[in-house]
Structure 1
């Protein structure tokens, strides 16, 4: 009974988390970053730039997560954003992405890696692309929020698909993955923008 319950919980967890298999690779025995780049028809420099978590490219381990390019730009973009969880530190007005920046600088950096130029501030980013409602959100869409009574935009994040979004949230949290159904999200969400 206990084993069945554990397997059921694991299965539910695996299917409820963002799963973007086309845009990710897990290191296998004998892999090198150069070999992974060749396998995915990428230049080594491009692979390295998408994986700042590897400070020493000679030190990769079996099971390490590697962002690769696929034919789905939105999934690749989200996987790159996810890879920055242990890389980015939130700094308001920070100008050193991906390591030291705020939410809009972080989003600008992530999209730039995939050929999309965005303005620097979240207020200006909210004017780019096609406005969409909460129910229309798809993977790779921008999400805008306001914690102010006058509804002036104060925050931006990226929709991950499967009811999650990611953002360089605050000085207390840095890059976080959150539920689109979470209380903070539902309270402060304004609208989305589709730029891909």
Structure 2
């Protein structure tokens, strides 16, 4: 593993633990020698995780649509900023650059990005880990929802179990290193990454 994509909020949220974990995540990723890939913002948890990684000497690669850059929410101090044309291209590029996907607390954009990567993984489009740092139980409702899907026959239990719910970034990164992807949903060999 050479890089980790972080999904997280463009605000700090109400719990100070969210900001503290974002800062810890950035520092830990840098100290592990991993490149941080993220949405390119300078605001909220996004900005905090990037700033922490940069302060620890890490490489940080952002990906942001041009219309958001023009609204001046793009981070100007990154190792590299990819300016793309759309949100779809942004997600595609972030997925291409990352070896794993880790969600800190965030809103609908965070969920949407993480769920897309989970879907691609269970279909066999990639075999990369996908995890959630469950800061103060933030992701417990999501974990319950995912299990509810399996309990009602919409996904197999192995695709619930492929998601990593960790109490800290340290735990998530360790579990990423040990991750083994389950077989794809349609019982075929994994396809090459389609990015």
With structure 2 as the length reference, what TM-score do the two structures score? 0.29
Choose 1 or 2 for highest CA Rg: 1
Q: Which has the higher strand share?
A: 1
Bigger relative contact order, structure 1 or 2 (CA pairs below 8 A, ≥6 apart): 2
